[in-house]
């Protein structure tokens, strides 16, 4: 999380400077408003997508975590149903009828979901970073060609 937070800080400032630098004269307001709006939309979409991924990866792993407890199939189904109900309610600290094993199960399930989400996020950020770098290189080459044609 610290790595993502510091990387985000190192990306936002140069990006903002690039938008201001590339804005046509007289269009600074609309360009910066678009950048801010797009950024806020991206953050909201990323937050919602991240929550959905954590839930999806965690739910997919819940059955495996229950079976690792080494219990009977009937007891496993009952425990899994209780855990799913507690997770759906959003009140984990006050869930009635949950044992310490169930709380540990929810913790392990959440950790598994978070780990999968962070892996997907890292791959996506790496891909987008590579695309951004490629576009910057292409932009600089085009700028050099335009300067050469003017000279």
Segment 26-69, tens digit of pLDDT: 888 898 898 889 889 988 998 899 888 888 888 777 777 777 76
pLDDT of residue 95: 54
Q: Is the pLDDT of residue 70 over 80?
A: no
Residues of 71-109 as b/e, b for ≥16 C-beta within 10 angstroms?
eeeeebeebbebbeebbeeeeeeebeebeeebeebbebb
Q: Is the pLDDT of residue 94 over 70?
A: no
Alpha helix (H) residue ranges in 69-99: 73-89
The more confident residue out of 101 and 23 is 23
Please give the distance of CA 134 from its chain centroid, rounded to a whole number. 23
The more confident residue out of 4 and 115 is 115
How far apart (Å, rounded) are the C-alpha atoms in residues 122 and 86?
A: 30
The whole-chain average pLDDT of the chain stands at 79
């Amino acid at each position: 999380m610290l790595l993502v937070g510091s990387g985000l800080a190192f990306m936002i400032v140069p990006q903002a400077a690039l938008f201001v630098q590339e804005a046509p004269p007289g269009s600074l307001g609309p360009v910066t408003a678009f950048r801010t709006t797009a950024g806020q939309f991206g953050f909201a979409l990323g937050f919602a997508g991240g929550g959905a991924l954590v839930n999806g990866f965690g739910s997919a792993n819940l059955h495996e975590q229950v079976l690792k407890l080494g219990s009977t199939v009937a007891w496993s189904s009952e425990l899994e149903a209780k855990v799913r109900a507690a997770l759906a309610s959003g009140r984990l600290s006050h869930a009635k009828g949950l044992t310490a094993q169930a709380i540990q199960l929810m913790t392990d399930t959440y950790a598994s979901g978070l780990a999968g989400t962070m892996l997907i996020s890292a791959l996506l950020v790496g891909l987008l970073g590579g695309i951004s770098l490629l576009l910057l290189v292409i932009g600089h080459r085009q700028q050099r060609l335009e300067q050469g044609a003017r000279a």
